Structure 1
Amino acid sequence: MQLKQIIIAHKSGHPASKAWAETYTKALEERGCRVMVGPSGVSDNPYPVFLASAHASIDLAIVLGGDGTVLAAARQLACENVPILAVNVGGHLGFLTEPFELFKDVEVVLDRLIGDRYAVQRRMMLEACLQEGSRRYPEQVSDTFLCLNEMCVKPASIDRMPTSVLEMEIDGQMVDQFQGDGLLVATPTGSTCYTASANGPILHPGMEAIVVTPICPLSLSSRPIVLPPGSVVNIWPVGDREVNTKLWTDGVLGTTIWPGQRVAVRMSRCQAQLIVLREDYSFYGTLREKLQWAGTRVHFETENGNGGLADSTDSAWEETR
């Protein structure tokens, strides 16, 4: 990888994240790299300025924060084919980030990047827009919104918690009507986030698939469904006279859905590119760590390669007591 022009985005309001951004900026500039630095947060979006200021292709984005900071970067940079090195500095769960311990030795990290000693995960994304008109010849009436985790259609009101009634069509076929708190349309990456909280399935991020999950449905027959990546999901709000229903993308407000409009969700051509520094990276290891899955409680080993089971260690037995 060439390191000629780089973005560094740090978590807004987090001193350690900003300090490490400054440390990497100094090290990169000493190597002759042009660096653009700025905060990223709920009220800070530095990426339009970064992209407009770039006088050549951007080689890398270093994103220092948690999963929310990474999601914001992916929505802005995926279609620009900018790889993202995300590091957990000031984050909480950190599903999408590299551990901070691997990031502390600045020169080692930069040497690994220049020497191409890393892996790149390509993550599927979704895009959504509002449409009006006939099903056969729809008219797009909004911007196109991107997400790495999920699109969410749900109502929001200042003074109460309204229930939504949403109709869903998949590839031109009416599927169901959902009454409840809303509807999630997620990627495999997003299956471990809001979708998992809504009792949706967990999908491996290497897959290409779309997960539709109702949020707290009022019918026991409403169930999540996994769709092929080429599917198009259309969602209509029904009977929303107060215009409360909105489209949310990765937890950020996209737009209000007005009467007569529908949300069309499909797989995007853009893919997020996440750099992996860990040589022992495992998605299942991440599930065990982040979701606190127990894994095996008693460890067995094969003996002499013949598939026999050796006795468990005393320490392993102690863990089960």
Structure 2
Amino acid sequence: MQIRSVLITARYGSSRASELASSIGGMIHDKGCSIYTVNPIKVEGAREVDESMIKDLDIDLAVAIGGDGTVLRTVRWLSTKHVPVLAIKLPTSKGMLAEVTAERSDIEHAIHRLFSDSFYVERRMRIMASVDGRELQPALNEMLIIRDSLTRTPTYRMRLLGTEVAYRMDGLIVSTPTGSTGHSLSFGGSIVYEGLEAMMITPIAPINRMPSIVIPVTDVEVRSNMDAKVVIDGQVVYDVRQDQVISIGRYEHDALFIRFEPRGLRQLANI
């Protein structure tokens, strides 16, 4: 893999992330690469861009500095691009998706391996939703469907694998294996090996006991008899009117991550 152009993203409002972005940008620039940063991150010699411009950039690699929120945001910006992400975690972050720590020796070693072509690319499946045919942004972790009203409990109808079921509950989470250690886990969902081709459906406060289930990748339709919200990876929120059909399935573009050493159950080890 030839690396000629690199996008650097960093946690907003973190001076440590900004410092690392400047240091890493210098190391990569010294390798003869073009550097882009997303406003308001500034790196000497880099071109600053808005997130809306990323889809038009010709880049070979993205470096995300921060925690999982920064990584999720970066992956979403790269939605239609086959660009791998090197995730670097700050000391204050759990960094479930990270490959490298913020220690200078780790970063220098990672840069050396990147430009020695001594790494592999890991693929992670994503999911995408549409509401009455209107496509929403893709999710690497999960789609949270939650009631809009705090005083009434909706009934959600779900159609999947040729079966329709209905439950009264606050909401539900449809997650990927990557997202099984995120919001879904907080509501009692299972941890699923990140390399599996599967989807998890986890209920939120069902009145009649509904278990969390793991299903093969398929199309899932959800409909609520009250207004609801769809939250993408905890970062992007859409309003959904009652009885609108939310269709969720696999997104055609996987997320790609730079890895240096193979590790099974990577996420379980990071909890």
Instruction: Provide the TM-score with structure 2 as the length reference.
Output: 0.89
Offset, 1:171: 4.0
* Structure 1 portions without partners, runs of 5+: 132-139, 292-321
Matched, 1:257 2:258: no
1:10 and 1:39 in contact (8 A); partners too: no
The equivalent of 1:18 in structure 2 is 18
1:87 and 1:103 in contact (8 A); partners too: no
Matched, 1:225 2:226: no
Select the structure of larger CA radius of gyration.
1
2:191 and 2:268 in contact (8 A); partners too: no
Offset, 1:50: 2.8
Offset, 1:34: 0.7
1:36 and 1:50 in contact (8 A); partners too: no
Mapped partners of 1:17, 1:193: distance in 2: 23
Mapped partners of 1:107, 1:89: distance in 2: 15
Offset, 1:90: 5.7
- The residue type equivalent to 1:67 in the other structure is D
Q: Secondary structure at the match of 1:79?
A: coil
Offset, 1:65: 0.7
Mapped partners of 1:76, 1:185: distance in 2: 21
Query: Of the candidates 128, 139, 143, which is equivalent to residue 147 of structure 1?
Result: 139
Note the aligned Cα RMSD (angstroms): 2.2
Deviation per residue, 1:250-278 (Å, 9 max, x gap): 1123311113411000011110011123x
Between the two structures, name the one with larger relative contact order (CA 8 Å, sep ≥ 6). Answer: 2
The equivalent of 1:165 in structure 2 is 155
Offset, 1:101: 5.2
Offset, 1:66: 0.4
The equivalent of 2:45 in structure 1 is none
- The residue type equivalent to 1:129 in the other structure is S
The equivalent of 1:50 in structure 2 is 54
Q: Secondary structure at the match of 1:22?
A: helix
The equivalent of 1:62 in structure 2 is 63
Task: Give runs of ≥4 in structure 1 deviating > 6 Å.
Answer: none
Mapped partners of 1:93, 1:18: distance in 2: 18
Describe the shift of the 1:260–1:161 C-alpha distance in structure 2 as closer, same or farther (beyond 3 A).
Answer: closer
* Structure 2 portions without partners, runs of 5+: 42-48
Offset, 1:193: 0.8
Q: Give the count of matched residue pairs.
A: 264
Offset, 1:6: 0.5
**Identical pairs, percent:** 29
Instruction: Provide the TM-score with structure 1 as the length reference.
Output: 0.76
Offset, 1:280: 6.1
Matched, 1:182 2:182: no
Mapped partners of 1:268, 1:38: distance in 2: 25
> 1:102-141 alignment to 2 at 5 Å?
104=105, 106-131=107-132, 140=133
